[in-house]
Structure 1
């Protein structure tokens, strides 16, 4: 696992029955990725000016395996998969701490783009970092 964070689900995360609303995972996944980048010095708000590229989300999918409920404590886990030419996958697991149940898993495809929002090849220095993080 590359990075993780633990969150307790709040009322804002759930539907009126207290079950996690399906779209609630997506902001949490983005927050985990952004936090990881920030901690490693790859600030997204500086990337385009400093490096000439930034990252955008191309696709995302999420499988809901077990219901998560109000006040469940969830560990969100981040892993990075093998990089392609212009993109790489982020793999997420959401695990309920009370019973270690895998409640959801997701993948997001991240693409590097230039200032005109055109996909660009992953630069060698960033590719090396991705390979280190994928181990």
Structure 2
């Protein structure tokens, strides 16, 4: 595991029955990734000006395995998969702390783009960081 955070589900995360609303995972996944980048010196708000590139999400997929409910405490885990030419996968797991149940797992594909939003090859310095993080 590369990075993790623990969150308690709130009313805003659930549907009227008190069960996790499926779309509420996506902002939590993005927040985990943004926090990881920030802690490692890669500020997304400055990346384009400082490095000439930024990251965007190209695709996302999420599997829901067991129900999560209002006030469940969930650990979100982040891993990075092997990088391609212009993109790399982020892998997420959401685990309920009370019973260690795997609630869901997800993958997002991140692409590096220039100021015109065109995909660019991953620069060698960032690629080496990705490879380090993936180990």
TM-score using structure 2 length: 1.00
C-alpha displacement at 1:27, in angstroms?
A: 0.2
* Ranges in structure 1 where 5+ consecutive residues have no aligned partner: none
CA apart distance, 1:83: 0.1
RMSD: 0.2
CA distance in 2, matches of 1:37, 1:127: 14
Q: Which runs of 4+ in 1 moved over 6 A?
A: none
Measure the CA separation in 1 of the matches of 2:40 and 2:99: 31
Deviations 1:33-61 (A, max 9, x none): 00000000000000000000000000001
Look up the SS of the partner of 2:33 in the other structure.
Answer: helix
Deviations 1:96-135 (A, max 9, x none): 0000000000000000000000000000000000000001
TM-score (norm 1): 1.00
1:93 match: secondary structure? strand
